[in-house]
Structure 1
Amino acid sequence: MSELIASESQKLYHDTIITLYEIDASFYGGGVLRFQASSNQTLRFNGYEYFPYPIQANGFEYTGRGQAPQPTLTASVLDLSFTAQLLSANNLENCDVRRIKTYRKFLDDGSDPQPTATLVVDEFYIARMSSKTKDQVTFALASKIDMRGKQIPGRQIIKGTCMFSYRVWNAESNQFNYINATCPYSGSSYFDINGNVTTADKDICSKDLKGCKLRYGDSPLPFGGFPGAGRY
């Protein structure tokens, strides 16, 4: 929170709070939708125009119970441009959403324009469309720290098994197929799954350190497992 916002919020009587919304549809090749329900007039902040639009937002506040908010955003679908964006962008799923709060005086046409003075900026993304009627649509939002459903860490920690995809021999072309390979090995030494020397068409990695050392020798091993991992 900036000093300007802190000073304004401590006043006995302070200016009207304005809430602005942004939906970034660039994930689907679209633009940024900017709108607000605080005024019937177009508002301008930090050089951007925020158009009046029927919208309701709920659940943005933190409860202090240790859980991230799971807000919802309900907007009218009567506007043709918004509806077109909605249909062309997979219901806006995975698009970033920003809720910006500031005081009326800090808008571009306010008594004290301050483009960087914001009360709070909440950042979420659209997890899914939770409901839709002929008049409106409701989006369920999720916090960005949810990583869009990804697990942390991104890879599963397995001690002795390499998780990389090894090259595959293509009998029709008599050469290796590397399209889905994530292992960087492209050498001409061939070993079967038991580590025995073999021909190219029978080359299969054992997915352990032994198989990696056979192919790379004394070079650094790009082993896709975690041999130093221990049990807790």
Structure 2
Amino acid sequence: MILQNSLLELNKIEQDAIIELFEVDLSKIVGDKTIFRFHNGMNEMRQAIIWQGNIYEPYPIKAQGFEKSGQGTSNRPTLTVANISGLITGLSQDYDDLLGAVVTRHQVIVKFLDSGNFNEGNPAADPTQEVISNYVIERLTSLNSETASFELALPCESDGALIPARVIIANTCAWQYRSSECGYTGKAIADEFDKPTDDLSKDKCSRCLKGCKLRFGEHGILPFGGFPSAAKLS
């Protein structure tokens, strides 16, 4: 949505600086309201950016490829973020590479930012002046110890569907331990290395078939979230 005042500012030959703020909403894939807000910089007071009362933490993030075309399919923008302390690695492992997460880009002219961003306040602050673009994460294109890159798509083109519905991994369970998909609610069994423990704080699933069998029995019905047969060659 482009509001009139924002459009006038954007059309000026010499315009105020425009910043990009990003929201990554995991609510649909996590099951509760989980939103990360980032901006690749800080405000006048060397603190996190405040926009519409929300805090956008300083975090290395870069987006590119937001061109618009009236012909054919739309472009696929790329969102690249730092993998500080393995944050993205952990989220990707727990939530299927974040496929389906909603990414919102806010383009805001600095003069309209909340008063809390400036040492002397901001009488021109106006939380309605922004340009919003919504995308969904289509796929994880690269991941290493330093950065992660995601390909984005318009919601109308993804239609909320993931194809395949889940990433096919042979020997690793995709379910979160003790979740509804996992189904285990019993006592502590073993740690993440399948070593026995009776301490609930150390009780973690190895995400392997062995960990599943330790909890449901060697010959029990296993709710294993992987695809063991995918590793077999005919």
Identify the TM-score tier after normalising by the shorter chain. 0.5 to 0.7
User: In structure 1, what is the Cα distance between the partners aligned to 2:148 and 2:87?
Assistant: 14
Q: Which amino acid aligns with 1:121?
A: I
User: In structure 1, what is the Cα distance between the partners aligned to 2:138 and 2:132?
Assistant: 19
Q: Residue 37 of structure 2 aligns with which residue?
A: 34
Map 1:15-30; keep pairs closer than 5 Å: 15-27=16-28, 28-29=30-31
Instruction: Name stretches of at least 5 consecutive residues in structure 2 with no aligned partner.
Output: 163-234
User: In structure 2, what is the Cα distance between the partners aligned to 1:17 and 1:7?
Assistant: 13
8 Å contact from structure 2 (residues 22, 39) kept in 1: yes
Query: Deviation at 1:90?
Result: 2.1
8 Å contact from structure 2 (residues 17, 109) kept in 1: yes
Q: Residue 131 of structure 1 aligns with which residue?
A: 142
Pair 1:11-2:22 in alignment:
no
Query: Deviation at 1:83?
Result: 4.5
User: In structure 2, what is the Cα distance between the partners aligned to 1:113 and 1:79?
Assistant: 35
Q: Residue 116 of structure 1 aligns with which residue?
A: 128
Query: Deviation at 1:122?
Result: 1.1
TM-score, with structure 1 as normaliser: 0.58
User: In structure 2, what is the Cα distance between the partners aligned to 1:24 and 1:15?
Assistant: 29
Pair 1:58-2:64 in alignment:
yes
Map 1:86-125; keep pairs closer than 5 Å: 86-109=92-115, 111=122, 112-118=124-130, 120-125=131-136
8 Å contact from structure 1 (residues 19, 38) kept in 2: no
Map 1:1-232; keep pairs closer than 5 Å: 1-27=2-28, 28-29=30-31, 31-39=34-42, 41-79=47-85, 81-109=87-115, 111=122, 112-118=124-130, 120-146=131-157, 147-149=159-161
Q: Which amino acid aligns with 1:117?
A: Q
Query: Deviation at 1:13?
Result: 2.5
Q: Which amino acid aligns with 1:100?
A: H
Indicate the SS of the match to 2:160: helix
User: In structure 2, what is the Cα distance between the partners aligned to 1:18 and 1:36?
Assistant: 8
Instruction: Name stretches of at least 5 consecutive residues in structure 1 with no aligned partner.
Output: 151-232
8 Å contact from structure 2 (residues 41, 59) kept in 1: no
Indicate the SS of the match to 2:145: coil
Aligned-residue CA RMSD (Å) = 2.3
Please identify the structure whose Cα radius of gyration is greater.
Answer: 1
- Report how many aligned residue pairs link the two structures: 150
8 Å contact from structure 1 (residues 127, 148) kept in 2: no
Query: Deviation at 1:11?
Result: 3.1
Q: Which amino acid aligns with 2:127?
A: P
CA-to-aligned-CA distance 1:87-125 (integer Å, 9 cap, x gap): 33222111111111010111112631111111x211110
8 Å contact from structure 1 (residues 38, 52) kept in 2: yes
